[in-house]
Structure 1
Amino acid sequence: MDFTPTDEQRAASALAAEIFTDLSTPARLATLGTATDGDLWKALTAAGLPEAVEDIGLLGLVLLLEEQGRATAQVPLAATCVHGLLAVAAHGTPEQRERLLPPLRSGAEVAAGAFTHGGGPPPVRAAPVGAKSGAARTGGGAPARLTGTVPVVPWLCEATLLLVPDADRRLWLVRTAAEGVGVVPVATTAPWSAGRLTLDGAPAEPLGDAEGPAPYDEVLATARTAFAGLQAGVCAGALARAVAHTSTREQFGRPLSTNQGVLLRAADAHMDTEAIRVTAYEAAWRRDEGLDAAPHAMTAAWWAAEAGIRVVHAGQHLHGGIGADVTHPAHRHFLWGRQLGAYLGSGAQLLEELGELLTANRMEEPV
């Protein structure tokens, strides 16, 4: 097994790193507050990075998201690529791909996914067009009307296109401007332009067709892998700041980094960050190779949720009192790490789901 990034993937990652370093500076982020960085989004799309994801695959996207996480850049890159570009490219009908991919590639469309990463799909019901709310589920590739609520959807307030799973695990495309779609901004730990989604008979079209509907589990695994990659970058950025601070900050005439307690804390954070990164790489590589990646995506999500929170806490603690300053860049990484951990789900919940999946796979193996 070799999931070493290709030259094309590394080149895209290097370009992303350059753009994020130049534009997503601490001073600029302080000015933005909780707003999305529109100029940065334009720069990324002008460089062709969202469009490149179709060629560099999920592993390439994970590399891009690592760079975004290092800079805590406020753009909907993960949501648009996972719930828009990759989902439509992999599972959309030829007509859907022709209609939806060009604006997603150019950045004219921003996508978001109404997924809950733990406990199954949200309680959204699909009824045939013309039927009353709560009627029997529509079948095949027919359009439907959706009813239900999703409490928190990242980047919802910026999105024009939504990917919404229903309680029966079918995936639907919904326009945020459509009748029956309610969007209420929600304050989250990280500045993700999140919102509460309310669907009241909102018109929707199925992703895919009757013969090949989009698989909910595969799209969920892709999202988990991508957001784990984002967390790997957030953790790497937090750790890099902590190392720089403890190497230059002196106590009793010696750098803080010479203290054994500081060294051990940083070493543990490094190992946790590498575990997130490597498991995300493996899950992404398997998806790109057409292999089963569901348990690997859950593993990456578990590391991102559990270890990610440990790393950003360590990063803040190693800054001492400075880390508690809400205007300091170290605190921004802390906020992002906490939000990603909450979004991916609790560690116990992910482990339970992983155990159920592994047990089911074992039961299906021939004796």
Structure 2
Amino acid sequence: MDFDPTEEQTEARELAARIFGDLSTHERLAAAGTGTDAELWKALCATGLVAAVEDIGLLGLVLLLEEQGRMTAQVPFAASCVYGLLAVGRHGSEEQRARLLPALRDGTAVATGAFPWHGAIRAGGDGRLTGTIPWVPWLRDATHVLVPDEGRALWLIRAADAEPAPVETTAPWAAARLVLDGTPGERLGDDTAYEDVLTAARVAFAGLQAGVCAGSLARAVAYTSVREQFGRPLATKQAVQLRAADAYMDTEAIRVTAYEAAWRYDEGLPCATHALTAGWWASEAGTRVVHTGQHLHGGLGADLDHPVHRHFLWGRQLDAYLGCGARLLDELGTLLAKEDAA
């Protein structure tokens, strides 16, 4: 395994760090409320970072999403890249790629996915879809939605045909309820496409959680280094050091498992169990880290307007989106048992 980023991946990550750092400030996030920062999204697309994902792969995307997570930047970066660029690029027909990829690259089209839901949508013989998904991230911004049916076949629909109803989630992900009533869809890929896209999504959102946790911990370290109690910085207290150390180790575990799964995905190696492992760490450890970040801020951590509270909200939302640790472990155990039996 080689997790050292390529020159292209390094340059993309550095550019992403500058853009997110410059534009995803506390003031701008507060002004955005629960919506998307349209100016930030335009900047990301204009510099070619969205289009670059096709070249730098899933591992490169994970690196970029870490930078987004550090700043809790409110843009549909993960969703549009995983459910749009990568999904269409890997599983679309030649005609679909020619028609859809240019707009996804420049950001004039935004994709999201009704994942990990399956079984709630029924597909008719004419390709029309019926059913309801309680909430889909970034659906309010999307032009296209990738939807798995009850047989786990993938369908691409136009968001305008679904009339999404806004839903507020724990984190400000511009989510909406997806209601389909004979909505026309076009098939994307073969019977293997669902598992491939789900694997990529788990890895990508685990990478996003690694960044959220790193940002939360960095804020906690900065705060405890200057906040004094009884004449000494909080950071000199052993209990504070131990909590921070545990959070650091948890964050590194999320990062390295996401890197491994992404590297294997890019290399064409089996990675379903690795993606589930990364998802489990992101869910379980991610929750611990963002709770620690908030706790180490003391009373400030309870302030809903404090920047660290955004990391708490994102961490809990990612836990819910990834599927919670117990469910992921159950799925991982079942998959490992099948592989062992084979």
What range is the shorter-chain TM-score in?
over 0.9
Q: Which residue of 2 aligns with 1:198?
A: 179
Cα displacement (A) at 1:214: 5.1
Alignment of 1:236-247 (within 5 A): 236-247=214-225
Partner Cα distance (2:91, 2:192) in 1: 5
By how many angstroms is 1:191 displaced?
Answer: 0.4
Amino acid of the structure 1 residue aligned with 2:163: G
Partner of 1:168: 151
Which of 291, 295, 299 is the matching residue for 1:317?
Answer: 295
**Structure 2 partner of 1:132:** none
Provide the residue aligned with 2:128 in structure 1.
145
| Partner residue of 2:202 out of 224, 228, 242 | 224
Please name the residue that 2:41 is paired with: 41
Structure 1 residues 52-73: Cα deviation after superposition (integer angstroms, max 9, x where no partner): 0000000000000000000000
Taking structure 1 as the reference length, the TM-score comes to 0.92
| Distance in structure 1 (CA, Å) of the matches to 2:34 and 2:329 | 32
* CA-to-aligned-CA distance 1:91-116 (integer Å, 9 cap, x gap): 10000000000000000001010012
CA distance in 1, matches of 2:263, 2:36: 30
Displacement after TM superposition at 1:122 (Å): 3.8
1:363 aligns with 2:328: no
Which of 106, 125, 128 is matched with 1:128 structurally? 125
**Match in the other structure for 1:24:** 24
User: Is 1:185 aligned to 2:151, yes or no?
Assistant: no
- The TM-score, its normalising length taken from structure 2, stands at 0.99
Supply the distance in 2 between the matched residues of 1:284 and 1:237 (Cα, whole angstroms). Answer: 21
Deviations 1:286-321 (A, max 9, x none): 000000111000000000000000000000000000
Q: What is the DSSP-based 3-state SS (H/G/I as helix, E as strand, rest coil) of the residue aligned with 2:157?
A: strand
Native 8 Å contact 2:119 2:151 kept in 1: no
Verify the 8 A CA contact 1:91 1:213 in the aligned structure 2: no
Provide closer, same or farther for how the CA distance between residues 271 and 21 of structure 1 changes in structure 2, counting only shifts above 3 A. same
Q: 1:322 and 1:195, CA in 2 relative to 1: closer, same or farther beyond 3 A?
A: same
Q: Deviations over 1:74-106 (max 9, x none)?
A: 000000000000000001000000000000000
Query: Where is the helix percentage greater, Structure 1 or Structure 2?
Result: 2
Contact 1:225 / 1:283 at 8 angstroms: preserved in 2?
yes
Equivalent residues of 1:123, 1:149 under 8 A apart: yes
> What is the DSSP-based 3-state SS (H/G/I as helix, E as strand, rest coil) of the residue aligned with 2:36?
coil
- Conserved 8 A contact 1:92-1:214: no
Tell me the C-alpha RMSD between the 2 structures.
0.8
Q: Is the 8 A contact 2:152 2:191 kept in 1?
A: no
Q: Aligned partners of 2:202 and 2:215: how far apart in 1?
A: 20
Distance 2:154 2:3 in 1: 29
Superposed CA offset, 1:244-282 (max 9, x none)? 000010001000000000000000000000000000000
Structure 2 residue identity aligned to 1:9: Q
Question: What displacement does 1:3 show?
Answer: 2.2
In structure 2, the residue matched to 1:301 is 279
The corresponding residue for 1:136 is: none
Query: 2:76 — aligned with what?
Result: 76
TM-superposed CA distance for 1:123, in Å, is: 1.3
In the other structure, the counterpart of 1:55 is: 55
Distance in 1 between the 2:213 and 2:6 partners? 23
**Inter-partner Cα distance in structure 2 for 1:167 and 1:321:** 47
Give structure 1 regions of 4+ aligned residues with deviation exceeding 3 angstroms: none
Q: Which runs of 5+ in 2 are unaligned?
A: none
Return the alpha-carbon distance in structure 2 between the equivalents of residues 112 and 36 of structure 1: 14
> Residues of 2 paired with 1:6 and 1:324: CA distance?
41
**Pairwise CA distance, 1:182:** 3.0
Q: Distance in 2 between matches of 1:167 and 1:246?
A: 50
Aligned residues of 1:44 and 1:50 also touching (Cα < 8 A): yes
Correspondences of 1:98-137 after superposition (within 5 Å) = 98-116=98-116, 121-129=118-126
Secondary structure at 2:170's aligned position in 1? coil
- Is 2:261 aligned against 1:275? no
Identity %: 69
Kept after mapping to 2: 8 A contact 1:242/1:316:
yes
TM superposition shift of 1:7: 1.4
Contact 1:91 1:214 in 2 (8 A): no
Please tell me the residue identity of whatever aligns with 1:96.
Q
Q: In terms of Rg, which structure is larger?
A: 1
